[in-house]
Amino acid sequence: MLDTILAENALPNLHPAVIHFPLALLTTALLLDLACVVTRAWTWMDRAATALWVLGTLGLGGAYLTGDAASQQMVNVAGHAQAVLADHEALAELSLFAFGGVTVLRLLVSWLSRRDNRIHIGLFRLVALAAALAAQLLLVATADRGGALVYRHGMGVEAAGWTAPGPEPDTR
């Protein structure tokens, strides 16, 4: 069934369709967490951030699985691209574990403050925020390697009709 779905569209695999959702959700969760430090009266923002951490991390798990499946389809990968692919895979796994930890911390923060009328800035929240910033840096590095695979090494794209950017040929 998956082969039928992919045959009907331009995607070589599901990874490009899945990866952008957790990137957006986790970045928004981090921004909401930062806003919680400033705007402590809006407890809904804390609850929304927690929900986004959970959804984003689950989505990241799906992106990891689709990326792993996509890498299994890659054959005859050049040596330099193979190294970037290996980095991308390793960083993706680290990112998944890091965001899993952040999500557990954020669930703990939300549980401990479930009856509070204001957002409390305590040790667990600060640790979760620091871990979230570190995890976000890992995610940026992972995305950079993924972008390099597509835009520098042409992985996952069809070469027909595509020309690499560069200087225009001299036709004089």
**Domain segments of the chain as ranges:** 13-72+88-151
Which among 46, 39, 155, 163 has a CA at the least distance from the CA of 107? 46
Q: Say how many C-beta atoms besides its own lie within 10 A of residue 164's C-beta.
A: 8
Comparing 13-27, 28-42, 71-85, 88-102, the range with the smallest average pLDDT is: 71-85
Q: What are phi and psi of 105, to 5 degrees?
A: -60, -45
Per-residue pLDDT tens digits for 138-150:
999 999 988 887 7
Supply the pLDDT for residue 157. Answer: 63
Supply the pLDDT for residue 27. Answer: 95
Has residue 15 got a pLDDT over 60? yes
Q: Say how many C-beta atoms besides its own lie within 10 A of residue 67's C-beta.
A: 23
Per-residue pLDDT tens digits for 107-137:
988 887 777 777 777 788 889 899 999 999 9
Supply the pLDDT for residue 1. Answer: 57
- pLDDT top residue among 50 and 8: 50
Which among 62, 52, 59 has a CA at the least distance from the CA of 107? 52
